[in-house]
Amino acid sequence: MESAASDGGSWPEDEGIANDDDDARQPISAGRRAPARPTSCETCKSRKVRCDRKRPACGWCTRNGQTCLYTARRKPGLRAGFGRELEGRVDRLESVLQAQQRTIAQLVDRLGGELLVRAPINSDGLPLQSALDGSSHHEGNPHALHHASAAAPAMTTSSTATVNGHDMVDTTAFDEQNLPPYDLLCTLTRLFFEHVYPWFPLLHETATMQLLTDPTALRTDEFILLHAIVVITLRYCKDYRLDEGRRDRYYRVSKEKVLLHGVETSTVKGLQAMVILALDVIGTSNGPPALNLLAMAARSVVQLGLATEAVGPSATPASVSISTLQVNILSSPESFTEEESRRRLFWTVYLLDRLATAATAFDFALNEEEIRRRLPCHHDFFICNHAVVTDWMDQPSENYEHLGSFAFYVRVVGILSKIHLFLRRPVNIAASSDVAQWQHDYRELNSKLRSWEANLPARYQSVLHSNYSDGHQHVDAGVVLLHLTFHMTTIRLHSSAAYPTHSSQHFQPSPSASQRCLDAVDGIVALCDVVRTHDILDKLGPPAAFCIWVAARLLLVHGSTVEGQVKPCITSLVETLELLGRYWSIAGRYANLLRRVLDEYHDHVNSPAEDRHAREAPPSVRILADMRRCAYDLDLLISRQPKSTPIRATTTELPLEYLDVFDFFNVPRLPISDESLLATGSQINPAFPFQGGQELTNTNFLFDANVDWLNDSSVM
């Protein structure tokens, strides 16, 4: 008490308040600094009693047997930046909690009863309902997530997330790579396997999902692969956080990272990302950007040695060669899954190269002579890491159990590539020997198509032969694309004989070829009805849109050259393209072009007879029906056409007789010079006199079944 009184205090020791600032109230002479006195001990501070500051132990601690500890004087108040740090920690905790709730809710819905998750309990003892992601409308049952329970794991102070009780995932690495939030990235990855994988089976699902579990161990090319997945799946996600600005930013940043990495380095994961980006570009445009990316990917697969089989039972057979030996850049695969992933990577590049080039007059980026790969295996073997040996591309199959729909898809696209090369070869239609050779090659390709269809396993013929009217039977999007491509390939081959742009006494249009084209169009129309009935358009991509586009153009060609009117079923094709355009803008572009053409055509047909004969044909109709035009040219030319049409004095016999035929069907191709034609003395179609340096186009076919060269038992 005496020490307390001497300091001017009047409180008892057990009720007083520790005061470290007593000296501040003492007068200080000018120019003299007050001597620093020791602070109260930590025990007196915590007990809020007055401390006499004696050393080594103060009086209160001595009397009460407490440990007396003195610490250095600290500046009053919170340290600088503490408030901002605290606010940031709270924000991170809130975002982590929301991310965990959404992720677990989606996993519960996806895996069903495999996950046992208990919902958090509020103060009233009732389970809390988690916030649900808007992207659930694109995953399976659109209402399933609304009945799933969500768990809220204990909050931590770091940017982490947990799934189903597993170790916490540090998502800082994803943030540093400018990727979307962790839960959104997981959603986008799952959307890839739900909407893209069925018709583009490139990645292994389990291996890809494992990339999300330990981001600190990921390599640069694995982050790049995740960026590519973001690019291609943003179109399917309707998360409430993805407003237009964020969606565009994620797309732009991820696309730039994939492009830069693809230019600078060449790895398997980086090439997978480049192929996915090329697929996205193909789905948004039909011009040089996609072809440029495919050219890079094609050279990369060759440089990495992916065009040939590696060592092992499925290796490429040894052959004697004097060529320079190629260095193996890649190490041997560690598992069958890795080996099959490389094989599928090559075949996806092959497919995109063939499909994109088939719509143009260009050569393929991948040379057939460089390819020596076995077909991809069935999906089940790939997922389960069960090693099997499949057939070669050109080898007749005896056991189809190891092959899935993807392998048969590769084979039918291989036939399409042979047809493309065949139709690119010029033929002298005035020389009977040249025409005979052309018809012989034509029959061989037709035989390959028929053999492919005949050897298709029954499990992949169900789309054509099963009844889907009840709307409950499962429809495999991969099998749908398989048949769409087969019908498109049929049109590609037979349109050359049905609607040739040039004719002669040796080369006449074939009515049976025309009928096969129409049958193929009917098949595509039926498939469009199936996918619309079962609402699986979100599981189809640009290759399906191109097949539908070809069928619609064939109807325009047939209407312009034979019937004089367009079949009504073209409306179903256009409507399907419009629905598919919700996800892939190239499909919407196709639909808009067809709508414009059909609108101008109907205006032309419904106009008075005297005006119709006095007016020039709608320019869009003439351009689109010109089969010598590729898809890129059509897009460019029609977009530049004015809406109005000038008046011309010429007349036409049929409403669609003014229609030409497009580049996809520009066959046969004549030699560059017409000297060989003139030397033979043969006569080209007299209705269209041949003139050197000018294009000949036959637009009025008179089919004669008696002289149908294709109507032969050898090809039926």
Q: What are the structure tokens assigned to 341, written together? A: 């992933």
DSSP 73-110: ---SSPPTTHHHHHHHHHHHHHHHHHHHHHHHHHHHHH
Structure confidence by residue, pLDDT tens digits, 126-174:
333 333 343 433 333 333 333 333 333 333 334 445 444 444 566 777 7
CA distance 55 to 42: 13
CA distance 91 to 13: 44
The answer for 81, left when phi > 0, alpha when psi is -120 to 50, beta otherwise, is left
Pairwise pLDDT comparison (384 vs 166), residue with the higher score: 384
First to last CA, the chain: 120
Instruction: Give pTM, 2 decimals.
Output: 0.69
Mean pLDDT of 416-437: 87
Range(s) of the chain covered by CATH 4.10.240? 1-74
In the predicted model, is pLDDT for residue 407 greater than 50? yes
Backbone angles phi, psi at 476, to 5 degrees: -80, 120
Structure confidence by residue, pLDDT tens digits, 577-627:
999 999 999 999 999 888 888 887 777 677 666 555 555 555 555 555 444
Q: How many CB atoms lie within 10 A of CB 335?
A: 12
Mean pLDDT of 622-642: 48
Cβ-in-10-Å burial (0-12, 13-18, 19+) of 420 comes to: buried
Q: Quick one: pLDDT at residue 551? A: 94
Mean pLDDT of 498-516: 82
Per-residue DSSP letter, 392: B
Q: What are the structure tokens assigned to 242, written together? A: 């993805």
CA atoms within 13 A on the CB side of 598: 20
* Closest listed residue to residue 147, CA positions, set 162, 163, 136: 136
The confidence band for 576, taking pLDDT boundaries of 50, 70 and 90, is: very high
Distance of CA 487 to the CA centre of its chain: 23
Cβ–Cβ < 8 Å for 13, 4: yes
Cβ–Cβ < 8 Å for 329, 305: yes
Distance of CA 341 to the CA centre of its chain: 17
Q: Quick one: pLDDT at residue 111? A: 61
CA angle 340, 114, 156 (to 5 degrees): 95
CA distance 534 to 473: 9
Structure confidence by residue, pLDDT tens digits, 195-219:
999 999 999 999 999 998 888 888 9
Q: How many CB atoms lie within 10 A of CB 2?
A: 8
Mean pLDDT of 360-380: 86
CATH architecture of 1-74: Irregular (4.10)
